[in-house]
Amino acid sequence: MEKKLYILNFNYEDGKNIKKQLDNLFEDNIDIRCIESEELSAPKGECLILVPDNRTFIGIKEKLGQGCNVIEAKLTLSKESIDKIKSLDNDKKVSLFHENIEIMNKIVCVIYNLTGKKLHTCECENSHIYLDLNDEKKEDFIGRVLLDLSTIIEIAVRFNIDYIIKNENIMEKYKEMITNEAGFLNMLGRVNKFESQLDILFKVIDEGVIIADKNGMINICTDNCCNIIGYKKKDVINKSLIELFPQIYFNPVLEDYIYIKEQLIKINGDDIIVSIYPIFHSNRMYGMVGLFKKFSDLERKQHKIRAKLIGKGHRAKYKFSNIVGKSEKIEKCKEMARRMAKSNSSVLITGESGTGKELFAHAMHNSSDRREYQFVAINCGALPESLLESELFGYEEGAFTGAKKGGKPGLLELAHRGTLFLDEIGEMPLKLQLRLLRVLQEKEVMRIGGDTLIKVDIRIIAATNRNLKEMVLSGQFREDLYFRLNVLPLRIPPLRTRTEDIIPLIEKMKDEFNSEFYFMPNAIDALLTHNWRGNVRELRNYVEYFTNIGLTKVGVKDLPFDDIGIYEEGLEEEDLAFIDKLKKQVGKGIRKYVFVLEQLEKSQIISKRMGRRSLYQLAKEEGLYISENEVRSILVTLEKFLMVEIYKGRSGTVITDFGKRSLSYMKKG
């Protein structure tokens, strides 16, 4: 609703001057007009009438009723005008002329109070106010009348825009005025000083603040509070705190003067923590103070504290762009990892030593919604059991000899809202596996020597170069933890299966080491056929080696390989261990298994499937004695080792791709 101020019954010049003064102060906040009594009708809405004297004040009250909003102006002069009057000789006769005797008397009082000079007054028809210095007229010598500071503040308060008077521009304009109410000015200064200190306090504290009177009407709402609760200040000021937030139970505050501490409520869909404190003295209620803070902001603050506790070292350093390679295998692996990164489920990264499992863990964290939070990594095989437990779960003060005073949060706590990377998870002792399983199930952790459960929200990425399935079968790894971790399995291919990435990797590493050597064609051929048991880590060692020995051209003879040969195509270290297990299990009978696989491979070439009887007859022809029952047993074992597929009825048995690669390896002894 528009605010209107009518300047009533001032002469043209005075009204014009006062309007200019108020326009400069209040700008577009008030519509200000100069009118005469005849133009005035019953005001509507937010309306205020400013009159020059008591006579007009009484007349307006009689005309419009006692309920109308009228202010009698208190007047003053500018500082410049008062200084001019002070400069006049005391023995000179000074007369003051103005058409309105009441205004003239007000100005005479102001001048006497501020300068001690007595002026003679003379009523005239001229609307100008001027001095007569020993019969020498000095029009405009003292300038135009101004509204006193107290009247300006009264206008601001009546329109409920008193906050404007604290504006820096307005404070500068105050300095141009002179007021004869020193006590009022002194009090205003103290109030402004207190409010400035209060404003600084409101800006410093994180919480939003609302202050209401004893009836719950809101007087103050800080900018921070408006941001937190999602309301504009105009929608909050002079509104009922109780009606605005019906979800808060105010009775303890209003009836028993008991504060409400950290109540969690919903405001505009956000979780807000609210505390309400009564303002009372001598069993009398004066008002209440409300503190508001977003639960999400509190979580972020806790994250910052955790980050300071943990230091700057626990940040994910790599992204998917840091993973070098354009081969089909590595591209598929990266694409799968990107998809997994969007989930909060546990990831189990497997692969040989040196394939870059930790690099993928870093990249997945940096592509996830948790990237703004901590990436905490620990090698489960690098620490003894007792130390690993205290690092993971933390401990309370006095939990054991040498425990820090005040205790220490564990990495599970410090990784809250972020990612915990458990490298070499296969090396974790069984006792700790059980404790970790509980954390994954319940999302809460208890420190060593503590009795309090601490809620944690973490995403687990685990990595290992061991065969966890076999470890489960042998009782070295908990089956329930295995399935908890293996929600999203990711297998990193070894370097020997993606040889097209070797040269790009070498070039990237040469840039890092600032190397100047290059490989001869025969050396490149050897690199592409090397077994790379150490994978990318081994390749990096070779690049660093040639950087340091100072060779420019590197030939095949310069390569420090222990063996230069072709590794079994498509077989990984884990596969070889699997085949060796079969060889160890059957011992000298391996020849019979090789024979069966050879026959199945030959039959597949001619698109024919073989059954047990056919295999028995072929063995007999080759002078190799294998009974039908033994053939059946061999096929069942080969199926368990994923080398064949047995079909029901007369469909026969088929060798698998893995069976073909295994046959090639077993033939070499």
Could you please report the per-residue DSSP string of 554-598? E-GGG---S--SPPPTT--HHHHHHHHHHHHHHGGGHHHHHHHHH
Closest to 498 (Cα-Cα) out of 373, 614, 327, 342: 327
What sign does the CA torsion over 109, 114, 118, 119 have?
negative
The residue type found at 573 is E
Pick the CATH number of 205-298 from 3.40.250.10, 3.30.450.20, 3.40.50.11820, 2.60.40.420: 3.30.450.20
Which DSSP string corresponds to 71-121? EEPPEE-BHHHHHHHHTS-TTS-EEEEES-HHHHHHHHHHHHHHH----EE
What class does CATH assign to 495-558?
Answer: mainly alpha
- Side by side, the strands of the sheet bearing 459-464 are 375-379, 419-423, 459-464, 347-350, 488-491
Closest to 600 (Cα-Cα) out of 586, 614, 584, 580: 614
Residue 42 CA to residue 224 CA, distance in Å, equals 41
Instruction: Confirm if 639 and 577 have CB atoms less than 8 A apart.
Output: no
Q: Enter the tokens of residue 190.
A: 């103290």
Given this model, what pLDDT does residue 529 score? Answer: 82
Q: SS3 of 549, please? A: helix
Closest to 70 (Cα-Cα) out of 86, 53, 95, 90: 53
Chain-centre distance of CA 488, in angstroms?
Answer: 26
pTM of the entire predicted model:
0.48
Instruction: Indicate the angle between helix axes 502-513 and 535-549, nearest 10 degrees.
Output: 50
Chain-centre distance of CA 481, in angstroms?
Answer: 31
Q: Enter the tokens of residue 370.
A: 């948790």
Residue 35 CA to residue 45 CA, distance in Å, equals 18
Residues of 2-17 as b/e, b for ≥16 C-beta within 10 angstroms?
ebbbbbbbbbebbbeb
Given this model, what pLDDT does residue 490 score? Answer: 96
Residue 608 CA to residue 177 CA, distance in Å, equals 111
In Å, what is the CA distance from 299 to each residue of 93, 283, 452, 538?
77, 38, 19, 43
β pairing state of 518-519 and 375-379? unpaired
Given this model, what pLDDT does residue 508 score? Answer: 94
Q: Is residue 398 left, alpha or beta, with left meaning phi > 0 and alpha meaning psi from -120 to 50?
A: left
Q: Enter the tokens of residue 591.
A: 């020849």
Given this model, what pLDDT does residue 647 score? Answer: 81
Question: What are the phi and psi torsion angles at 276 (to 5°)?
Answer: -120, 125
Q: Write the CB contacts of 399 (distance below 8 Å, at least 6 apart in sequence).
A: 407, 447, 448, 449, 450
Given this model, what pLDDT does residue 135 score? Answer: 54
311-489: CATH number = 3.40.50.300
Residue 603 CA to residue 653 CA, distance in Å, equals 10
Closest to 142 (Cα-Cα) out of 100, 104, 93, 99: 104
Q: Enter the tokens of residue 661.
A: 């690669």
In three-state form (DSSP H/G/I as H, E/B as E, the rest C), the secondary structure along 138-160 is EECCCCCCEECHHHHHHHHHHCC
CA angle 49, 112, 131 (to 5 degrees): 80
Closest to 366 (Cα-Cα) out of 437, 439, 418: 418
DSSP state of 217: B
573-667: CATH number = 1.10.10.10
- The mean pLDDT values, 10 residues at a time, for the chain of 669 residues are 81 83 82 84 78 84 79 82 74 67 77 73 59 54 73 81 60 58 52 59 75 82 85 83 82 77 81 84 79 76 57 75 92 96 95 93 95 90 86 79 69 89 93 92 88 88 92 91 95 92 94 91 87 90 91 88 50 78 87 90 79 86 84 90 83 83 78
β pairing state of 218-221 and 208-213? antiparallel
Q: Enter the tokens of residue 528.
A: 């592409």
Q: Enter the tokens of residue 87.
A: 């400069």
Residue 614 CA to residue 592 CA, distance in Å, equals 15
Given this model, what pLDDT does residue 311 score? Answer: 52
Closest to 238 (Cα-Cα) out of 215, 257, 259: 215
What class does CATH assign to 4-74+149-181?
Answer: alpha beta
Q: What residue spans of 374-473 are helical by DSSP H?
A: 385-393, 411-414, 430-442, 468-473
Given this model, what pLDDT does residue 486 score? Answer: 95
Q: Enter the tokens of residue 83.
A: 């200084």
Residue 93 CA to residue 91 CA, distance in Å, equals 7
Listed in order, strand segments (DSSP E) in 177-245 are 208-213, 218-221
Instruction: Confirm if 347 and 370 have CB atoms less than 8 A apart.
Output: no
β pairing state of 419-423 and 375-379? parallel
113, with CB counted inside 10 A (0-12, 13-18, 19+), is: middle
Residue 49 pairs in a beta bridge with 6, 70
Residues in the chain: 669
